Structure 1
């Protein structure tokens, strides 16, 4: 394609960009049809993209070409149409890669700006092919740039334009794969350490409703992607489960601004809204974890692939320890007195259900080491001391079972008589009657061994 440069130079910026997109489409179609593996856009084509679409000057003596706001809008519309009209997904993905794969040069900033505007427009006008290409881009790109794209979309649909949230809401049904990657990116972006890094209320409501409507949504990338053991550490996580768990555990102790206002069911209007949302999100995350044994067994990955990483868990417990120390320095009010225990209870529940369902692969000793700085919590103590329990139904008294039992020849041919049953242990009155029992823990007795 290098020979078309001379024909593009006399054209105005919009006409040149449109013409190059046309030739790029033809070039990639021919590349795919040739059967070359892997199909790869050559460096000369990349240089044309940078010069005539991203407007990076070819050399220092060449003035940069600039588009007006109207021309830029027209270019975005042309690109939307181009991807919509191309029926072959392989061609679309290669075109998207040629336009937006980061090259480590000065044109990358222009790539990111144009990408943010294109994906935002694709959400607004429902261009699913672009959203699918963007999902692949999020999967293979360094997380630093992924969160930048997520920030642009949150600003466009949750901050800058009031009432535009329902448009973003629709990506749940339009492109579940992009929606899953978007959730992973925003949970990476917002870590609840500052007011700026706390998810906007509208975004939180949206994510909760998405997962409640379809719990498998957060597993779509995992279900549809061939996984290897060398997942790049710089990429986004395979699922947003770790980020969502971090939100739920830290939320009761996350403070706002200088007033250190907790995100809880306090007397404030925001507290009344946010508290139940994080509770609903926590339950949804546990329900998603309950889906994993069958899925991991089907893929032959049970006990071999951890969807939650120990490094991420260690970072969470470290953050939680710091937040608990901060909470101790402030005289607790009636509304905030129970917050430390709520955060620790959620951590304990998440750890137990994660281990029981194969999402977290570690020993009790590893868990005790990671949680050693945390204050005592009855439920967390049970998790750190007792055996792994497998939960069959999150809404009813839990039954102990092994996800491997149905696939084990030993299970189908028992050689020992069943052990006699024992009467249940007597229940003890709760030392904290103000805390209602979690539904999925009701009726379950744990062997307790005090830690030394």
Structure 2
């Protein structure tokens, strides 16, 4: 394609970009049809993309070409049509990579700016092929850039334009793959370390509703991604489970901190109560974790692949310890220990369910070392000491209420465990003691991936 540069130079910026997209489509289609392996866009074509679409100057003496806002909008519409009309997914993916695959050069900033606008428009006008290509891009790109794209979309649909949230809501049904990757990215973007890094209420409501409607959503990419040993070190996690777990555990203390800071600054908290949302989210995360044994068995990965990493868990407990220290220093004498205990209870529940269902692979000694700086909590102590003889059933009104000030063990000491209706297909390697039975009514019923009542078992 290098010989078309001279024909593009006399054209105006929009006409040149449109013409190059046309030639790029033909070039990649022919390459795929010829069976060339691996199908890869050459460096001269990449240079044309940078010069005539991203408008990076070819050399220092060449002035940069610029588009007006109207021309840029027209280019985005042309790109949407181009991807929509191309019927072969392989060609679309290669075109998307040629346009937005990061090269480690100055043109990457232009790539990110154009990508954010294109994906935002694709959400607005329902261009599923672009969302599918963006999902693949998120899977293969360094997490720092994935977070930047997520920030653009949150700004566009949750901050800048009031009432535009329902448009973003539709990606759940339009492209589950992109929706799952988007959730993973926003859990990395909002780590609850400051008030600015807490998720907007509208975004939180959206994510909770997505997962309640279909718990399987957070596993979409894991289910559809070949497991290999060359997963990029700095790429996003294969599921958003770890990020969602961090949200639920840190939320009671983080939002309490932000509320006190707002009152100290002379303002009042205007957001509705977020506690029930995180309660529902925590329950959904536990629900998804309990689905993993059958899924991991089907893939032959039960006990071999940890979806939750020890490094992430160590970072979480470190953040939680810091939040607890801040709560102790700034809490008025009239405060009750309900919120710190709620955070620790959620950590204990997440650890137990993760270990029982082999989402977390570690020894009790490693777990005790990671949690050594945390204050005493009855439920956490039981999980760390193991084996535990009995847990009460999970109930939304039990440990998940922000007003709960006692352990779930003490709150329902005589509640009987429900008999299991489903037996895991894997053969245990040691004798297990039933710990936890989850009533079907505690979870969303009737979704696309229905839950079956299943006991949790203690694992070492």
State the shift of 1:125 in Å. Answer: 0.1
State the shift of 1:37 in Å. Answer: 1.3
Q: Does the CA-based 8 Å contact 1:321-1:374 persist in structure 2? A: yes
Q: Which has the higher contact order (CA 8 A, sep 6+)?
A: 2
- In 2 relative to 1, CA 401–16 (structure 1 residues): closer, same or farther, beyond 3 Å? closer
- In 2 relative to 1, CA 439–130 (structure 1 residues): closer, same or farther, beyond 3 Å? closer
Q: Does the CA-based 8 Å contact 1:293-1:358 persist in structure 2? A: yes
State the shift of 1:387 in Å. Answer: 2.3
**1:372-406 CA-partner distances (Å, limit 9, x unpaired):** 00000000000001127899996x99999999999
**1:283-335 CA-partner distances (Å, limit 9, x unpaired):** 00000001100000000000000000000000000000000000000234656
State the shift of 1:204 in Å. Answer: 0.3
State the shift of 1:251 in Å. Answer: 0.2
Q: Does the CA-based 8 Å contact 2:213-2:448 persist in structure 1? A: no
SS in 1 for 2:270: helix
| Comparing 260-269 and 40-49, the one that deviates more | 260-269
Q: Does the CA-based 8 Å contact 1:192-1:247 persist in structure 2? A: yes
State the shift of 1:196 in Å. Answer: 1.2
State the shift of 1:269 in Å. Answer: 6.4
- In 2 relative to 1, CA 321–421 (structure 1 residues): closer, same or farther, beyond 3 Å? closer
Q: Which runs of 5+ in 1 are unaligned?
A: none
SS in 2 for 1:248: helix
| Comparing 13-22 and 257-266, the one that deviates more | 257-266
State the shift of 1:231 in Å. Answer: 2.0
Inter-partner Cα distance in structure 2 for 1:173 and 1:445 = 12
Inter-partner Cα distance in structure 1 for 2:186 and 2:88 = 30
Q: Does the CA-based 8 Å contact 1:390-1:401 persist in structure 2? A: no
Equivalent residue for 1:162? 162
Q: Does the CA-based 8 Å contact 2:241-2:308 persist in structure 1? A: yes
State the shift of 1:263 in Å. Answer: 13
- In 2 relative to 1, CA 369–150 (structure 1 residues): closer, same or farther, beyond 3 Å? same
Equivalent residue for 1:439? 442
- Structure 2 residue 413 is matched with structure 1 residue 410: no
Equivalent residue for 1:429? 423
State the shift of 1:38 in Å. Answer: 1.1
**1:149-204 CA-partner distances (Å, limit 9, x unpaired):** 00000000000000000000000000000000000000011000011111000000
Q: Does the CA-based 8 Å contact 1:264-1:275 persist in structure 2? A: no
**1:108-139 CA-partner distances (Å, limit 9, x unpaired):** 00000000000000000000000000000000
Inter-partner Cα distance in structure 1 for 2:270 and 2:206 = 16
- In 2 relative to 1, CA 87–408 (structure 1 residues): closer, same or farther, beyond 3 Å? farther
Inter-partner Cα distance in structure 2 for 1:186 and 1:154 = 8
Q: Does the CA-based 8 Å contact 1:386-1:447 persist in structure 2? A: no
Inter-partner Cα distance in structure 1 for 2:41 and 2:235 = 23
- In 2 relative to 1, CA 428–83 (structure 1 residues): closer, same or farther, beyond 3 Å? closer
Q: Does the CA-based 8 Å contact 1:32-1:39 persist in structure 2? A: yes
Q: Does the CA-based 8 Å contact 2:211-2:218 persist in structure 1? A: yes
Q: Which runs of 5+ in 2 are unaligned?
A: 427-438, 452-460
**1:20-48 CA-partner distances (Å, limit 9, x unpaired):** 00000000000101111110000000000
State the shift of 1:216 in Å. Answer: 0.4
Inter-partner Cα distance in structure 1 for 2:374 and 2:104 = 42
Inter-partner Cα distance in structure 2 for 1:258 and 1:265 = 11
- In 2 relative to 1, CA 377–82 (structure 1 residues): closer, same or farther, beyond 3 Å? same
Q: Does the CA-based 8 Å contact 2:392-2:417 persist in structure 1? A: no
- In 2 relative to 1, CA 160–263 (structure 1 residues): closer, same or farther, beyond 3 Å? same
Inter-partner Cα distance in structure 1 for 2:450 and 2:170 = 47
TM-score normalised to structure 1 length:
0.85
- In 2 relative to 1, CA 3–377 (structure 1 residues): closer, same or farther, beyond 3 Å? same
Q: Does the CA-based 8 Å contact 1:158-1:200 persist in structure 2? A: yes
**1:82-107 CA-partner distances (Å, limit 9, x unpaired):** 00000000000000000000000000
SS in 2 for 1:193: coil
Equivalent residue for 1:261? 261
- In 2 relative to 1, CA 247–412 (structure 1 residues): closer, same or farther, beyond 3 Å? closer
Paired residues in the alignment total 439
Inter-partner Cα distance in structure 1 for 2:334 and 2:407 = 52
Q: Does the CA-based 8 Å contact 1:397-1:442 persist in structure 2? A: no
| Comparing 259-268 and 88-97, the one that deviates more | 259-268
Inter-partner Cα distance in structure 2 for 1:80 and 1:403 = 45
- In 2 relative to 1, CA 400–284 (structure 1 residues): closer, same or farther, beyond 3 Å? closer
Q: Does the CA-based 8 Å contact 2:346-2:400 persist in structure 1? A: no
Q: Does the CA-based 8 Å contact 1:28-1:41 persist in structure 2? A: yes
Inter-partner Cα distance in structure 2 for 1:294 and 1:115 = 38
State the shift of 1:255 in Å. Answer: 4.5
SS in 1 for 2:187: helix
Q: Does the CA-based 8 Å contact 2:339-2:405 persist in structure 1? A: no
- In 2 relative to 1, CA 60–336 (structure 1 residues): closer, same or farther, beyond 3 Å? farther
- In 2 relative to 1, CA 64–319 (structure 1 residues): closer, same or farther, beyond 3 Å? same
- In 2 relative to 1, CA 74–353 (structure 1 residues): closer, same or farther, beyond 3 Å? same
